[in-house]
Amino acid sequence: GEDVEQSLFLSVREGDSSVINCTYTDSSSTYLYWYKQEPGAGLQLLTYIFSNMDMKQDQRLTVLLNKKDKHLSLRIADTQTGDSAIYFCAEIQVNQFYFGTGTSLTVIP
Amino acid sequence: DGGITQSPKYLFRKEGQNVTLSCEQNLNHDAMYWYRQDPGQGLRLIYYSQIVNDFQKGDIAEGYSVSREKKESFPLTVTSAQKNPTAFYLCASSPDPRPAHYGYTFGSGTRLTVV
């Protein structure tokens, strides 16, 4: 599979908004996903967006999709210390998931 | 509660030994997957199985083997041929191999260390 790219690290202050960016590769991806991984644990599905949508909001989470640029972002409003984790974007290519490298989010109290 | 169980959580292997990582799911999912996670490299697919008694190689299958004799079980063997096996291994499952909004369900992982 081709590379799904993310920045490796992001630090924000508690209460600020976090924006995690992802560039994916397959313009025909049906769904795009965001997963969260806490230390020493598996991945937990946070949210997804269908490819015919531009935006999806779910409580503190907002997903933006720019299909022209193949750019996906996850915004976390009012970031809390419990949001510290690694965040992965993922796309489907030929019935297989391909994950980004993950962005490690650190929330500073 | 339904879910995926990986065991053991931590595993230590001497060089030259084969070890088997367990993955069991009670979700009645058809498809199961094994990923390897290394720092800064994200997740890389080792093997996957879309149905019992059938499996396919992923991107980094060399030095690994799998079996899928039962729907609920998909064990991964890390053989002595795998040159750099120290990593975090994640098992996942999906009701259907076709893409859908529910994505994959992941186990909690096994950390393998070669000593």
A20: which chain B residues are within 8 Å (Cβ-Cβ)? Answer: none
Which residue from A29, A41, A99 is facing B43, i.e. has the nearest CB?
A: A99
* B44-69 pLDDT per residue, tens: 999 999 999 999 999 999 999 999 99
- What does the alpha-carbon distance between residue B26 and residue A44 come to, in Å, rounded to a whole number? 17
Does A44 lie at the interface with B, CB-CB under 8 angstroms? yes
Check whether B73 has a pLDDT greater than 80.
yes
A24 and B CB contact within 8 Å: no
pLDDT single digits (tens) A56-69 = 999 999 999 999 99
Beta strands in B1-106 (DSSP E): 4-7, 10-13, 19-25, 31-38, 42-51, 54-57, 64-66, 76-78, 87-94, 105-106
Q: Amino acid identity, residue A54?
A: D
* B98 pLDDT tier (thresholds 50, 70, 90): confident
- Has residue A2 got a pLDDT over 80? no
Instruction: Indicate if the pLDDT at residue B101 is higher than 80.
Output: no
- Determine the pLDDT at residue A98: 87
Q: Is the pLDDT of residue A37 over 90?
A: yes
pLDDT above 70 coverage of chain B, percent? 98
Answer whether B101 sits within 8 Å of A50, measured CB to CB. yes
Cβ-Cβ contacts under 8 Å, B42 against chain A:
4, 88, 99-102
% of chain B residues with pLDDT over 90? 77
Whether B95 and chain A come into contact, CB under 8 Å, resolves to no
Query: Which of A29, A44, A100 is the closest to B42 by Cβ?
Result: A100
